[in-house]
Amino acid sequence: MEIAKDKYFENVLALRKEAFLYAVKYLNKAPNKDEWFTTPPTVTAYYNPSANEIVIPAGILQYPYFDVDADDAINYGGIGMVIGHEITHAFDDQGSQFDKDGNVKNWWTAEDYEEFKENSKMVIDRYSTYTVLDSVHVQGALTVGENMADNGGIAIAYEAFKMTDQGQDSTKIDGFTPDQRFFLSIARIWRVKTRDEFLRNYIKTNPHSPAMWRVNGPLMNFTPFYEAFNVQPGDKNYKPEEERIKIW
């Protein structure tokens, strides 16, 4: 494969050709379960249902997701939420269709799966009401899997955090309780700045909700958040307890 400094279009074609030829080599062969779908320095993480694996490359194991010198609240709200998110993907609208060996197989009881579908529709309907720009709304059906993972990820990370000494303590740092710092860390990992034009395209094409709703959306459903910041009826984004969606 040849790459030239002054031939962007030709470089893209060459890379796509190389990727195609690489994929063709795997036809009619057993999948290589040791292969990653990302590079080690990439800031990302993913769940691969066909291998039932979670990959967390080195790139994401740095601030603001993880800091070896940070307290538990910061790390559990950061990389802890990401790990919980990927775990939940094994049981979202797509991951739920794969068994423990990575095969597409129905392992649910009929009753459980019906309830799961009903809860999934609640997530779709709720997120479809969230406004992004003017009259532009989150695409609830497109983003349902990621929204499930965000909600489940926060619950998993919080439960793990509460098992730590700091999670069971009430000592404040910088004026914030451990629980408050946990939730502030969740908000911090999704800080982004985008142009409206980018966001309009993102809404139509990306299976993730915009960053703001990756924070506000799941936290509106999470009672410990209400307790940590004393969120009351009449406060923005308040939801009565019976309207807080919980799948996992």
Per-residue pLDDT tens over the stretch 118-134? 999 999 999 999 999 98
Question: What pTM value is reported for the model?
Answer: 0.90
Residues 132 and 12 in one domain: no
Residues 155 and 227 in one domain: yes
CB 167 within 8 A of CB 73: yes
Residues 108 and 9 in one domain: no
Q: Distance between CA atoms of 214 and 96, rounded to whole angstroms?
A: 21
Residue 238 has a pLDDT of 96
Residues 94 and 168 in one domain: yes
Domain assignment present for 35: no
3-state secondary structure of 22: helix
Tokens matching residue 166? 């700091």
Domain assignment present for 170: yes
For the chain, the domain total comes to: 2
Domain assignment present for 147: yes
CB 66 within 8 A of CB 43: no
Q: Residue length, the chain?
A: 248
Residue 31 has a pLDDT of 76
Q: Distance between CA atoms of 159 and 157, rounded to whole angstroms?
A: 6
3-state secondary structure 50-75: CCCEEECCHHHCCCCCCCCCCCHHHH
Residue 14 has a pLDDT of 96
Residue 248 has a pLDDT of 79
Domain assignment present for 138: yes
Tokens matching residue 210? 């915009």
Residue 95 has a pLDDT of 94
Domain assignment present for 40: no
CB 59 within 8 A of CB 70: no
Residue 41 has a pLDDT of 96
Domain assignment present for 43: no
CB 92 within 8 A of CB 148: yes
Residue 33 has a pLDDT of 81
3-state secondary structure of 54: strand
- The whole domain housing 8 covers 1-29
Residues with a catalytic annotation lie at: 86, 150
Residue 118 has a pLDDT of 93
Residues 201 and 126 in one domain: yes
Residues lower than pLDDT 50 in the chain: none
